[in-house]
Structure formats: structure tokens, C-alpha cells
């Protein structure tokens, strides 16, 4: 039972269709089938970033309603892998293999899990906290951007499509291709490195940020024929703060040897515009003494609900696996500094 999906569909999501015959053959709760089909429908019509987050939620619900259905975990892993949630992809692939220990595709799944681990390491090397992406057939979509984050200064916005880096096309590529292209920063179009530096200085009047210029070829929508250029410094992507998922919370926060400052954020967080630069400055000050992580509430709703996060930004400081301080809303610099100083000094 194959279907042809629109070009905008995440490439690996085509594998989702392979499970549809199983819906009729296996004893699966009707509610799980409906949530699965609802997620697939969202992907088929997707024209904005929120549709992919909603599709993920539907597939998560299907897996929760039918926890012994291997294909639900496999399909959720496929979607998570190309929606910038590699930790969730690893978790769901493991669940799939646990339910199908003799799976014929075990080798391929294990290779995909290894790719996800490399993806986590690569993104953290590049930086990019406060932004999530989705790999699409027609480029890399920006799903979420944290207000006040360094990358927001570049002009990159939620809903933008990155179709190239330095003139090299990204259409049909995976997320790691974007991160590798940013890291390599090979300008291949007619604009030389020297002219890109001059253009950056003229357009931004930024004389303080060091390092090479990265040129992103971006469209505001699929209908836009010719991409425009976003010029930014590579250092704008760098940060002492790392972006994590709820599936990494135990290892990255509760089991961390250092105190951990956890920031919960959303892309409509107005107070974040003032809070985030303060936290970036403090993260450099406390490097090696306090670990800093970001968690997006929209993409990690289960954890946000579990920790009763009702407002963003929410800053929680953990030590020895327990929360020792919490503050929410518009946080003055003095309050942030006090919380971090207490954590580092305990």
C-alpha cells in the first residue's frame, strides 16, 4: 500500500508508509491506529514547522497506546531522526529492536543509531543552541528559534528554509550535511571569501565578532524562487550552552558531576530576548564550574509537564540529581548571577 507524498515530506518519513498494511494485520488498539493516521495526515499536508511537531506528538501517542507494536517505535524513530531529535530516535530504535530481536534490518537500525550519536556530537561541536531543524526534500527547515539566541542575530527565523551553505545546495540532504557545511564553510559560489567579509561588515556594521563569515542561502517559503543570503559569523553559532532533549535529561542533568543550569524556553518567549544574552555571558564565566543546557518546552512537553514548567523562561539549577533553585519569568541579571554563584559555591 504505497502512496506518493508531496515533495515537502521529510525524506525518511517515506518509510512510514511501509507500516500501513500492518495496521490491518495486527491486533492494535483503534485509538493507536487513529493517532498514527493523524500523524501521517499532518506530514502529508505540512506547510509550517508546527505541523511536524504535531505529527511527532501523534506518533508518540500511537506508540504509547500500542507499546508492543514495533512499527510504531520504528516510524517514530524515523521521524525524530530528521526532526532534530536524535536522542528520541535512538530511544525508539532501541524499543523497536527489543520488540523484534531477530529483525532482518537490525544491522541497518544499529547503523542509524550510530549516526544519531554522531549527529548529537556534530551539532554540539558547531554550537546552535536554541534552534531546531527538519530535513526536508527541498532543504532544511527551521522549526524553532530561541528569542535572544546568537543565531537569531543572523536574521534566521522560524519557517525559513536553508537551501544551501556558501552556494552549495542542501536540498535532499540530511541534518548532518547542514552542520558539516557550516563547520567546513566552503564558499563555492561566485562570491569570494574576501567579498563576503566586506559584505558582512557593510550589512551588519559588526566589527567585534571574530572569525570567518558563513553564507546561508535561505528562502522564506517554498514559493520563493530565488534564495536570499544571510551572512553571519561562525562564532555566532558557538556557545557554552548545549541543547538537549527530554530523553537526555537523566544523563545530561541528573547524573552530571557538575551543577547544571537548565533553561526551559519556547520560541514565543519575549523575556528570553533579555535573559538569553545574560545566560550566555554567565555560561562563559562559569565554564568548568557549572554546566548549561537548554530544553525547548514545545518539543519536550512530557518533561516540561513532569517538572511543572508553566512559564518560560524557567531556570532550574540542579546539583547531585536534585533541583536546588528555580526561577521563572522575567529574570534580572542579578537573580541569575546569584543562582549560579550559589550553585558553583555549594
* Cβ-count burial 174-188 (b if 16+ within 10 Å, e if not): bbbbbbebbbebebe
Which residues are catalytically annotated? 269, 272
Long-range CB contacts (within 8 A, 24+) of 74-79: 74/15, 74/19, 74/109, 75/15, 75/16, 75/19, 75/36, 77/112, 78/12, 78/13, 78/15, 78/16, 79/10, 79/12, 79/13, 79/16, 79/39, 79/43, 79/52, 79/55
| Cα 222 from Cα 8, distance rounded (Å) | 9
Instruction: Classify strands 314-319 and 260-265 as parallel, antiparallel or unpaired.
Output: antiparallel
Instruction: Give yes or no for a cis peptide into 313 (omega within 30° of 0).
Output: yes
In eight-state DSSP terms, residue 104 is: T
| Cα 280 from Cα 339, distance rounded (Å) | 15
| Cα 229 from Cα 52, distance rounded (Å) | 26
Residue whose C-alpha cell reads 563576503 in the numeric block: 196
Amino acid at each position: 500500500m504505497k502512496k506518493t507524498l508531496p515533495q515537502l515530506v521529510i525524506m525518511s518519513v517515506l518509510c512510514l508508509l511501509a507500516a500501513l498494511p500492518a495496521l490491518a494485520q495486527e491486533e492494535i488498539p483503534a485509538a493507536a491506529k487513529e493517532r498514527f493516521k493523524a500523524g501521517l495526515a499532518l506530514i502529508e499536508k505540512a506547510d509550517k514547522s508546527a505541523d511536524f511537531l504535531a505529527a511527532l506528538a501523534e506518533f508518540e501517542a500511537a506508540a504509547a497506546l500500542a507499546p508492543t507494536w514495533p512499527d510504531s517505535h520504528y516510524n517514530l524513530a524515523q521521524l525524530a531522526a530528521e526532526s532534530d531529535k536524535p536522542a528520541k530516535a535512538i530511544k525508539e530504535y532501541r524499543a523497536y529492536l527489543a520488540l523484534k530481536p531477530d529483525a532482518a534490518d537490525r544491522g541497518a537500525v544499529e547503523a542509524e543509531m550510530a549516526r544519531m550519536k554522531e549527529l548529537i556530537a556534530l551539532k554540539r561541536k558547531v554550537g546552535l543552541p536554541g534552534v531546531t531543524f527538519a530535513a526536508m526534500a527541498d532543504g532544511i527547515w527551521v522549526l524553532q528559534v530561541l528569542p535572544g539566541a546568537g543565531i537569531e542575530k543572523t536574521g534566521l527565523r522560524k519557517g525559513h528554509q536553508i537551501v544551501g551553505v556558501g552556494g552549495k545546495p542542501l536540498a535532499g540532504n540530511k541534518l548532518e550535511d547542514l552542520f558539516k557545511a557550516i563547520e567546513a564553510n566552503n564558499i563555492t559560489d561566485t562570491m569570494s571569501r574576501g567579498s563576503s567579509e566586506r559584505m558582512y561588515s557593510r550589512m551588519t556594521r559588526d566589527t567585534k565578532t571574530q572569525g570567518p563569515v558563513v553564507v546561508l542561502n535561505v528562502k522564506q517559503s517554498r514559493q520563493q524562487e530565488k534564495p536570499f543570503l544571510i551572512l553571519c559569523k561562525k562564532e555566532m553559532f558557538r556557545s557554552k550552552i548545549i541543547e538537549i532533549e527530554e530523553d537526555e535529561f537523566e544523563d545530561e542533568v541528573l547524573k552530571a558531576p557538575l551543577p547544571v543550569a537548565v533553561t526551559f524556553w519556547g520560541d514565543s518567549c519575549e523575556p528570553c530576548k533579555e535573559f538569553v544574552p545574560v545566560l550566555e555571558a554567565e555560561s562563559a564565566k562559569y565554564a568548568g564550574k557549572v554546566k548549561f543546557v537548554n530544553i525547548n518546552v514545545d518539543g519536550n512537553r512530557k518533561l516540561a509537564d513532569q517538572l511543572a514548567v508553566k512559564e518560560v523562561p524557567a531556570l532550574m539549577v540542579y546539583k547531585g540529581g536534585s533541583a536546588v533553585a528555580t526561577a521563572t519569568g522575567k529574570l534580572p541579571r542579578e537573580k541569575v548571577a546569584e543562582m549560579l554563584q550559589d550553585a558553583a559555591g555549594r
